[in-house]
Amino acid sequence: MSANRRVPVVRLWACVLFGYLALGATLQELPSYVTERFHAGPLVVGVTVGLAFAGTAAARPLAGRAGDAGRSRGTAMAGGLLTAVAAAGHLLAPDLWVLLAARLAMGVGEAALFSGTLPWVLAGVPPSRAGRIAGWFGLSMWGGLSVGPLLAAVAGHAGGAAAVWSLVIALPLASAALLATTPRQTARPLTEREIGRAHV
């Protein structure tokens, strides 16, 4: 079978991981960033951090519907690009309102990235493996949120805040680049043997 008819499970898994590593990295950097740059208190810091998750919760149903309608690739690519633009907005925000808007946009981008890739993958795997694949994609999301703060701490130690924000921008750009070079959705589910070749 030709490679362009196979769902690239590992490749799409990495796309989600990169996006959520970026979001996780912001969790480490945002509190001090908001406090030092905008002289905000704990309440504003909490709202700023949580706003991304509100954006994700609001956008997930719409992004999932688009994925189910056969627009998985475009939805996921838009999510990766929006996340990268929002990450740049964090760094360049001239005031707190722009930062809050960037935070909300990042959450929407993450929703599109995850909710686009998951239907893409599930449409091409046997039903007997769908739960396992969905579990792996959940792991990519939660793993990114867990490891992202550690990456931010390492980057911050090595190059300061600029290095952290560069990482936050680069990770979703890498997701978008991977998605842009990934073949379109497979026309039929993969066999058990083909899924085994994906090492998932």
pLDDT: which is higher, 164 or 124: 164
Alpha carbon distance 87, 171 (integer Å): 10
User: Percent of the chain, pLDDT > 90?
Assistant: 68
> What's the pLDDT at 193?
53
Q: For 124, what's the count of Cα atoms within 13 Å in the CB-facing half-sphere?
A: 23
| 95-137: pLDDT as tens digits | 999 999 999 999 999 999 999 999 888 887 788 888 888 899 9
> What's this model's pTM, rounded to 2 decimal places?
0.85
pLDDT over 70 (residue 190):
no
Digit-coded pLDDT (tens) for 76-93: 999 999 999 999 999 999
- Model confidence at 6, in pLDDT bands (50, 70, 90)? low
Check pLDDT > 50 for residue 186.
Answer: no
